[in-house]
Structure 1
Amino acid sequence: MLLDISRVLKTEGERLGFRYELDLSGCEAAIGEYPFTEPVEVSGSVENRASTVRLSMSIRGVCHTRCDRCLRELSEPLDLTYENYVVTQLNEEDNDTLLLIENNTVDLDDLTVTHIILNLPMKHLCREDCKGLCPTCGKDLNDGPCACDHRSIDPRLAVLKELLKEE
């Protein structure tokens, strides 16, 4: 959604609110498919106070994915906030904490997707102490132990084990 904020940029005290739903179900990115089967709700405002234009927005949705250890399906709520100052041109002393816009429009979809990607956890877990799957048989270790023998010997030390057998 492109939001035209030209009136807000020109008039001190002006405020423009927005609310819409963004469907990310068919999108893909470098991180793979977005795990959102339901639209994400985006709401916020752009406000001009004392000749400073500020964008505030909140992003709410539910991330449907799988646990990275045991592969169980899980749903994680997403509740993010984003605030930034909007400028139409950067000065030399300005840094990249300001939101530079062109043609007096803000691309809310791009901001939303970027903010979601930056805030999604690197690893999705069904619970902090998830034990995952057995690497040998694939049993979910959260349901109980498996019968596999997990005693592995470092091949560099296998010779020492042979010495113990000889005694």
Structure 2
Amino acid sequence: MPRRPLELPALTEVGRFMAVGGVSTTVAFLIFNLLLHGFNPSGDAPLSGHPITAYVIANTVGMVISYELSRSWAFRHRPPRHADGGRTAYVVINVVTMSLPVCCLWFSRSVLGLESPLADNLSANVIGLAGGLVARFYLFRRFVFHRPISLVEIYDDPEEVQSPVQL
């Protein structure tokens, strides 16, 4: 009987993905608020009045952290589908899915006229991020990190994989 590849249970993989997302989102959240709103009472911030630019910069840093943690921990049992380790597909997916929170932030600011730290964070980092998170999990598993390969798929003779490997 052919052996199935070693796979983490889906719930474990989802948990790891969420933990990686939590770390990278926290970093991006802090950078976004520092750039846009500052952390002092006077409200001086480097990108005050430029919410989209602040969001893109913060989430680019978060994306780098997310890739490294995803590759080394959350999806380490899944070989990348591409020669570059999946980096190009990862960046493309992140840029595309970043459009949802950016659109929510733009809508909140430009259409609704809400320009507070609470409105910015609710629109971009809660509403927009939730939709992007679901899309990224599916797309990463589908296009960046392939399912584990079984020994049966590597060897022509399935009988070779019936005996355990001796070290």
Same fold by TM-score, threshold 0.5 exceeded? no
| Bigger-Rg structure (1/2) | 1
Please state which band the TM-score falls in when normalised by the shorter chain.
Answer: 0.3 to 0.5
TM normalised by structure 2 equals 0.33
Structure with the larger helix share: 2
Between Structure 1 and Structure 2, the one with more strand by share is 1
TM-score (norm 1): 0.33
